[in-house]
Chains A and B, each alone.
Chain A
Amino acid sequence: MEERPQQTPFGDMEAFHGAFAELYPRLVSYARRYGASFAEDIAQEAFVILMQREEPVEHPTAFLYGTVRTLALTERRPMKNQNLSLESVSEPGLGGGADDEVLSQEVRERMRLLAPTFREALWLFVVEGLSIREIADILGIPEATVKTRIHRAKAQLRDQLNPNGGVHVLA
């Protein structure tokens, strides 16, 4: 006899299947961006860890992204290059998934020129479409820091567009 609880961190079973269909490919892509060799395994493990928890999670999406990030960095740790966050954005063949089809070479080049910490926050905010609160949960930093990083990334992008000068104001 199998126990079949109908409630999941995303709601009922139908909501869980919908969330899984939406988030799983994104998480696989996100894990690949950290250079994970077994991105699918990492994304699936993140879902299992989330479902295994007995305590409710306030932001399941942020929890999944954070778990994928941790697992991907842990997998890369023996290579001692885990500090290169999202470095694989511009590396052909590593950065993968549906997003690469959306992002043009020019966009990827612009993001590559950003500082890694700013790029990470910007990627999660713009491309993944996560909220400031979720990014703060994923990166384990205060929301104000996330906002600062995003605004600095914005300033750097403006500098790229206006290389001859121009005044930008940090919000």
Chain B
Amino acid sequence: MSWPDPARRFEPAEDVQLRAELRELLGLGAPLPQAAAPVTEELTRLAEDLRREALRRRRTERHRPSWGLVAAAALPLLAALAGLGTWGVQQKHRADAMAGQVHQRDVEMASMAATHATELARERKAREDAQEQLELVARVLPRKSLPYLVIPVNKPVRLQGEDYQRVKETPAQ
């Protein structure tokens, strides 16, 4: 019995056509219907020998523990990666916490600045109000006296007993 090759059973029509054209170009003519190759006793024996050899090789083949070797080789790398990942996650948590603190501090500073600005504005307003009141009062009330010159002195000008000289009266002529 000939072996029906599935790859040729499902060959596209265009490939079959191309093969026919090429055969014609080569001068081979149309392909003859393939007769089944005779399965002789010699070929069958050879096939059986080869099959047994293949089974023997399959049994005696040393199976390399490929996955185990790959896993063993990759273990240090995986451990290093895991450690690096853990460290990275910790660093990220720390950075997030510090960023939160800084943000909180910024919010507090902004709040304090707003409070101070409000108080400053209130004080300025009060000072302006007082100034206006003073100006208003000064405008309404008359002045008590005219301005006079004041000369500052170091010590009071007062005559003491010893500060004058007694002179003799000149006799009348």
Contacts and interface: CB of A to CB of B under 8 A. Distances in A.
Interface stretch (A30-38, A51-59, A72-80, A88-96): A51-59
B3 A18 contact: yes
B61 interface: yes
Contacts of A16: 3, 47, 51
15 contacts: A2-B52, A8-B51, A11-B3, A18-B39, A20-B43, A20-B50, A22-B2, A47-B54, A102-B28, A106-B27, A110-B27, A122-B22, A150-B18, A154-B18, A154-B21
B44 A125 contact: no
Interface string B7-41: 11001000100110111011110010000111110
Contacts of A110: 26-27
List 7 A-B pairs, minimum CB-CB distance, nearest first: A51-B54, A19-B3, A20-B47, A22-B37, A21-B37, A52-B54, A157-B25
A111 interface: yes
B70 interface: no
Given A61-B5, A131-B7, A44 B51 contact: no
Nearest to B2: A18
Size band of the A side of the interface?
Answer: 35 or more
B132 interface: no
Interface residues of B, number: 37
Of B26, B31, B38, the most chain A CB neighbours within 10 A belong to B26
B51 A154 contact: no
Contact of A132 (B15, B38, B51, B59): B15
A44 B39 contact: no
Interface string A1-44: 01101001011001111111111110000000000000000001
B143 interface: no
Interface in A110-138: 110-111, 122, 125-126, 129-134
B83 to A, nearest CB: 38
A161 B171 CA distance: 181
A69 B167 CA distance: 161
Of A18, A23, A24, the most chain B CB neighbours within 10 A belong to A18
B1 A14 contact: yes
Nearest to A62: B7
B8 A25 contact: no
B43 A24 contact: yes
A170 interface: no
Of B1, B15, B47, the most chain A CB neighbours within 10 A belong to B47
A104 interface: yes
A154 B21 CA distance: 9
B38 A21 contact: yes
Interface in B35-82: 36-40, 43-44, 46-47, 50-55, 57-59, 61
A131 B11 contact: yes
A2 to B, nearest CB: 8
Interface in B60-109: 61
A15 B1 contact: yes
Nearest to B47: A20
A51 B51 contact: yes
B78 to A, nearest CB: 28
A129 B25 CA distance: 16
